[in-house]
């Protein structure tokens, strides 16, 4: 059961090969066993999971079951779920019980998905390695001495380790795609505004998007179909029809115009990683796609741009954590100033504090124009570069990350080294574009991911490309030895 995809499980449940309760039980057991070595979960919610599974069985028996009835999933611990401890991987929210459902959570619940627990993540989604979590690092299922990527490291590791077939995740600078690549699974970040942000603890409001990690593009399409759509509670949610992402997955790729970013295939790229991507491109070409080089001259500035905009927004978004209405409060505050400074100083980890301070600095008087405003202008340039490219090609393909998974602790000394991991993924966040990462090979036993980026609201197209690729290759079916 644990090797089954979401599509397979839906068929299995409806065919009564096993019950939702059996399925949930089996996976909960796997999760429990995996915790010491993997640490992918912060909360395992067995009781509510089994109750939901029992309800799913009733619906399945009645013949009147919603589309995801009984399908086990996990939520990144950044999604508020009623009655569920929602920590964002932080001491600040270690005991926070959300009193409401994120829209994504509510929709998946309404469609019958069974939530097994909340996955580990970099604190407040800030990180690319899942090493900043207050609840300890997550390990890469392919090699426990290495990182799974971040910030959705827990969700990605859980899916790669076959603990759940799919999990929700969020992506602000690559936090779905990068861990998907490092863990050898599929991860999609939709167009900005496609999926509601209501109930997702905000990191950088103009960049955050909710998405899904799974083992196949088809599974990602199934989940996304339930998650996407207009939400009146999110002013940045776009009121556009949600196509059936599953229909059209099989469309042939003949005539597909693929752009290769000149700026990404430069001398800095690891040759072994490049070889995997090139092989992937060959497969797409074999299916009828054409390849051409495109140039996005401002794209190399995407990392510095991001590291102005994201910290600025997060410094403001995290101001609400002040020890007054919820969250961590320091012991015996002497006065108001002390309450704020120590609750926040003690409740937040180092990376979060670093980003809050960076953000505060770039917004401060005297620096706003030079940094924040400048970065938002560069962002416009980058978006324009992408728009121009999509006038010539249908999708852009690149590596998802410059290297495969690195060692735990390897990049903790210099934040900038860590930040440069995001070099391929950040552009899509700045421009609000949909992007998917699919496994496309291995380097020294570690997975490598290939990223496909499309124009706004072309989720169908990039899922189609990913799916057709996965029909002809088997990288996405490989499982880490310890979790087969």
Partner 1 sequence: MATSNSAAAAAARDSEWETVIGLEIHAQLATRSKIFSGAATAFGAPPNAQANLVDLGYPGVLPVLNGEAVRMAVMFGLAIGARIAPRSVFARKNYFYPDLPKGYQISQYELPIVAGGHIDIVLDDGSTRRIGITRAHLEEDAGKSLHEGLPGLTGIDLNRAGTPLIEIVSEPDMRSAKEAVAYMKKVHTLVRYLGICDGNMQEGSFRCDANVSVRRRGTDKFGTRAEIKNINSFRFVEKAINFEVARQIELLEGGGKVVQETRLYDPDKGETRSMRTKEEANDYRYFPDPDLLPVELDDAYVRGVAAQLPELPDQKARRFIAQYELSGYDAQVLTASGELADYYETVVREFGGSPKLAANWVGGDLAAFLNRDGLEIGASRVGAPALAALLRRIGDNTISGKIAKDVFEAMWDSQQGADAIIEAKGLKQITDDGPIEQAIAQVMAANPSQLADYRAGKDKLFGFFVGQVMKATQGKANPARLNELLKQKLNG
Partner 2 sequence: MSLSRRDIDDIAHLARLALTEAEIPVYLDSLSRIIGLVGELDRAPTAGVEPMSHPLAGLKQRLRADEVTDTDRHELYQRNAPQVMAGLYLVPKVIE
Answer yes or no whether residue 373 interacts with partner 2 by CB under 8 A: yes
Question: Least distance to partner 1 from the beta carbon of 39, Å?
Answer: 23
Is 287 or 380 the residue whose CB approaches partner 2 more closely? 380
Contact call for residue 82 and partner 1 (CB under 8 A): no
Which token pair is 77? Answer: 């611990």
H helix or E strand, kind and range, residue 108:
helix 103-110
Q: Which stretch binds partner 2 (CB under 8 A): 46-54, 178-186, 262-270, 351-359?
A: 351-359
Residue (25 or 379) nearer to partner 2, CB: 379
Cβ pair 159, 176 in contact under 8 A? no
Cα–Cα distances (Å) from 452 to 284, 395, 424, 466, in that order, read: 11, 6, 11, 8
Residue 345 interaction partner, one of partner 2, partner 1, none, beta carbon < 5-8 Å per kind: partner 2
Partner whose binding site includes residue 312, from partner 1, partner 2, none (CB under 5 to 8 Å by kind):
partner 1
Residues 69-98 that bind partner 2 (CB under 8 A): 95-97
d(CA 113, CA 106): 10
Looking at 231-239, 294-302, 392-400, 453-461, which segment touches partner 1 (CB under 8 A)? Answer: 231-239
Choose the binding region for partner 2 from 51-59, 118-126, 153-161, 380-388 (rule: CB under 8 A). 380-388
Instruction: Please state, in angstroms and as integers, the Cα–Cα distance from residue 404 to each residue in 347, 348, 421, following that order.
Output: 32, 29, 10
Residues 310-330: b if buried by 16+ CB within 10 A, e if exposed: bbbbbbbbbeebbbeebbbbb
Which of residues 91 and 139 has its CB atom nearest to partner 1 in the complex? 91
Instruction: Find the binder of partner 1 among 313, 351, 385, 394 (CB under 8 A).
Output: 313
Question: Annotated catalytic sites, by residue?
Answer: 76, 151, 175
230 is an interface residue for partner 1 by CB under 8 A: no
Nearest residue (CB) to partner 2, 94 versus 479: 94
Report how far apart the first and last C-alpha atoms of the chain are (Å, whole number): 11
Among 271, 325, 444, 474, binds partner 2 (CB under 8 A): 325
How far apart CA 171 and CA 204 sit, in angstroms, is: 10
Nearest to 113 by CA among 155, 68, 79: 68
Binding string, 314-343, against partner 1, x = CB under 8 A? -xx-xxxxx-xxx---------x---x---
Cα–Cα distances (Å) from 177 to 13, 25, 150, 424, in that order, read: 29, 29, 9, 10
The Cα–Cα gap between 146 and 153 comes to 11
Q: Which is nearer to partner 1, 372 or 469 (CB)?
A: 372
Stretch that binds partner 1, among 29-37, 173-181, 194-202, 210-218 (CB under 8 A): 194-202
Q: How far apart are CA 93 and CA 84, in angstroms?
A: 12
356 lies in the binding site for partner 2 (CB under 8 A)? yes
- Does the N-terminal peptide bond of residue 140 adopt cis geometry, omega within 30 degrees of 0? no
Neighbours of 381 (CB within 10 A): 15
Judged by DSSP in three states, 454 sits in strand
Residues in region 89-118 near partner 1 by CB under 8 A = 93, 96, 98-100, 102
Contact residues: partner 1, CB under 8 A:
79-80, 86, 88, 93, 96, 98-100, 102, 197-202, 204-206, 232-236, 312-313, 315-316, 318-322, 324-326, 336, 340, 360, 363-365, 368, 372
């Amino acid at each position: 059961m644990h090797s089954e995809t979401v599509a397979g499980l839906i068929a299995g449940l409806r065919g009564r090969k096993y019950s939702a309760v059996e399925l949930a039980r089996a996976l909960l057991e796997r999760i429990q066993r995996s915790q010491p070595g993997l640490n992918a979960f912060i909360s395992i919610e067995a009781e509510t999971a089994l109750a939901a599974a029992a309800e799913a069985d009733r619906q399945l028996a009645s013949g009147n079951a919603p589309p995801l009835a009984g399908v086990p999933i996990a939520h990144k611990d950044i999604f508020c779920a009623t009655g569920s401890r929602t920590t964002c991987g932080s001491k600040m929210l270690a005991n926070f019980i959300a009193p409401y459902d994120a829209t994504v959570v509510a929709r998946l619940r309404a469609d019958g998905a069974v939530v097994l627990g909340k996955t580990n993540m970099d604190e407040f989604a800030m990180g690319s390695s899942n090493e900043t979590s207050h609840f300890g690092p997550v390990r890469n299922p392919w090699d426990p001495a290495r990182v799974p990527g971040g910030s959705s490291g827990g969700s990605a590791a859980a899916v790669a380790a076959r603990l759940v077939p799919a999990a929700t995740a969020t992506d602000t600078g690559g936090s779905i795609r990068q861990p998907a690549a490092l863990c050898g699974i599929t991860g999609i970040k939709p167009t900005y505004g496609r999926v509601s942000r209501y109930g997702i603890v905000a990191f950088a409001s103009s960049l955050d998007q909710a998405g899904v990690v799974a083992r196949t593009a088809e599974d990602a399409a199934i989940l996304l179909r339930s998650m996407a759509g207009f939400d009146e509670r999110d002013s940045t949610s776009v009121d556009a029809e949600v196509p059936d992402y599953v229909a059209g997955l099989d469309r042939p790729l003949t005539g597909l115009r693929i752009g290769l970013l000149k700026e990404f295939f430069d001398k800095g790229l690891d040759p072994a990683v490049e070889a995997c991507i090139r092989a992937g491109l060959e497969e797409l070409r074999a299916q009828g796609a054409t390849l051409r080089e495109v140039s996005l001259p401002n794209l190399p500035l995407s990392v510095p741009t991001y590291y102005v905009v994201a910290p600025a927004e997060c410094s403001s978004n995290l101001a609400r954590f002040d020890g007054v209405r919820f969250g961590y409060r320091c012991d015996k505050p002497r006065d108001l100033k002390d309450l704020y400074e120590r609750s926040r100083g003690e409740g937040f980890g180092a990376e979060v504090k670093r980003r809050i301070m960076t953000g505060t600095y770039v917004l401060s008087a005297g620096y706003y124009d030079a940094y924040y405003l400048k970065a938002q202008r560069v962002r416009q340039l980058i978006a324009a570069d992408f728009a121009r490219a999509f006038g010539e090609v249908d999708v852009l393909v690149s590596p998802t990350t410059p290297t495969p998974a690195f060692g735990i602790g390897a990049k903790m000394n210099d934040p900038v080294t860590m930040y440069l991991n995001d070099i391929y993924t950040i552009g899509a966040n700045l421009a609000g574009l949909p992007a998917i990462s699919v496994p496309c090979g291995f380097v020294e036993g570690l997975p490598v991911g290939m990223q496909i980026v499309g124009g706004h609201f072309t989720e169908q197209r990039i899922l189609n490309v990913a799916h057709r690729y996965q029909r002809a290759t088997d990288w996405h079916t490989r499982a880490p030895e310890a979790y087969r």
